[in-house]
Structure 1
Amino acid sequence: MKIYTKTGDKGTTSLVGGDRAEKHDLRVWAYGTIDEVTSSIGLARAYVKEKEISEKLLKIQKTLFEVGAELASAGTDYYKRRIEDQDITFLEETIDKLDGLKPSYNGFIVPGGTIESAHLDVARTIVRRAERYISELKNYYEISDNLMKYTNRLSDGLYAMARYFDYKDIMEKVEENARKFNQNRSVVNNSQSEEIDEIMINRMVIDRETAKHIAEKCVQKSYEIGVPMVICVTDYSGNITLLERMDDSLLASIEIAMKKAYTAAALKAPTHELRDASLPAGELYGINTVDKIITFGGGFPLKVNGTIVGAIGVSGGTVEEDMKVAQFGVKAFEEGLTNGVTK
């Protein structure tokens, strides 16, 4: 059988069931645009190496054949609903799963972060165009509500997939840049022994008593400057050892203090030093999109012999006030080591 049939030479095409329609018929615009979506998703899928997402995209492509068939049968005796509730549920579950893997982001996204996300964003915009045609088509023909719901969810689903690849790419770059950032910050002092006092490090644990001592000193400093604070002390992994909230401190400061301490422990640097590095030209560009990361002052690592053993995060006042109280906590920790108060 030859590919060309010549039946469309006069500007008409066949609908489901054999009825003929002009090629500029709104139904043809609608299912033709869905055909574009299917092809654009195929292009995106060619670049996707993750098996699970590739399989989801393939399933979507197969469902889109049903969408196209429903549109191509609109207004004929062969029209029937082809999109089921489970098709919509599949997209909603996919969106929820992918959305849960990344931090929330408020603002506009500039497409082109990765090859995968760029192609998925193109597919998403074509879906939106198809939606516009289908919305108009409903004024003239019977179109199922599920078909409208499916195309609407599909644009959201493709958006969620695109953002997943962008976030994954940012995380990989951030992790690599964070390693370089910390390597560049390391200063080798050849006059000191390269051996770490393992006994001292193993003995030094940010236990509750140590954390309590640091927090008490921070509270004392907070009273001096007249600002109620939230103080968070963590171990070297960023796990909370103690969280102290002073009366009348802001509720929002609880989460911010925890994030400051976590950031200082995870990136092994005071949080105020990360601001410039997180700007577009910086080594850690994109890191402020990562959940739990703070890039303004108030978080400091706690060290013994140059090794991170914990961290402190303070929030409640201005950045300068937070830093002043946090630094007082660091000083209390260091003096406690000398005086035997911390252990």
Structure 2
Amino acid sequence: MKMDHDLLSAIQRSDLHWLEANASQLSADWRKFVHSKSGDSALHVAASAGCTQVLGWLLSQGCDCCLEQQNADGKRPLHCAVQASHLPIVKILLDHGATIDPLKRADWTPLMLACTKRNLQVIRHLIENGANLRLENKDGWTSFHLACREGDKEIVNYLLDVDGSVWNNVTKNGRTPLHTAAMHGKEVIIGILLSRGNYSTDETDACGNTPLLEALRMGHKNIAELLIMEHNASVYAKDKTGRMGIHVAAEAGQEEVVTFLLGSHGVDVNLLSETGLSAMHSAAKEGHTALVEMLAEQGCKVNTQDENGRTALWLACSARRTACVKALLKLGAQDIGDNNGILPSQLMPF
């Protein structure tokens, strides 16, 4: 055990002198030298450390038997080298026969990890050596989805140059790369996807969310405007619960986005979802007091009841949103019972 620790420590600090001095004590079977917690082999540690001299020495001593060895997370040495963005190490491992698309836990390939690190050189080398851009992890994410999430325009354009139809993919929950970029506020990537892809307007994921709804929920007004103006996205598109953009934005407390929808795109402040929810309901339920007050100033009715007879006050009391309850009462909210006769004041006395 001590030799395991000393060996791995020497590799981690790139101490080639120690390795050469103790070479006679090392077993011929390198696979037995494994970190007790991480499961890293000597080659994993060297790949992460990034010292080409140490890596070369290990491979010359027969450590290539660990090329496909997995650690506790299912990573092979190539995963570690890519995650650390060590291009020279990646090249050495591939030159010695490392598999190009091994899967770690959750089915992540080295190329997927490279896309999260935004290292174009590593990505390019992996693809030039046969990495499969179309492979999906357990959630259905491809390397291209990940690149769109990270938002590096050079990488996204490069991947589209390699495979012009790679944009046409959905995850297990139905999200396209356009959904992903919209959710994460990557305006430049949205522009690239709209110009180089062929997405359907208001394409929905498994929950009925459009890219515009994702952008509104996250407060990305610039993305919302781009999708509306360049992609003809509808501010009235509904998710599977029948909510539209103003309801989604109000629930998330995105006051600036709600104002944008009301002012720039003429959305009715009293617009109701399919279940009778107004923006006031959505904001009150989550305790967004300032937004509730702003909606009232814009003419949103305080005592509107949804299909269950619940008012904004009822929802605020149910969720124990004390500050919001006080604000609603000042705005004229009444103690109206729902369809079962339950009063807001019974849920939270005021």
TM-score (norm. length: structure 1)? 0.23
By relative contact order (CA 8 Å, sep 6+), the higher-ranking structure is 1
TM-score (norm. length: structure 2)? 0.23
Higher strand proportion, which one? Answer: 1
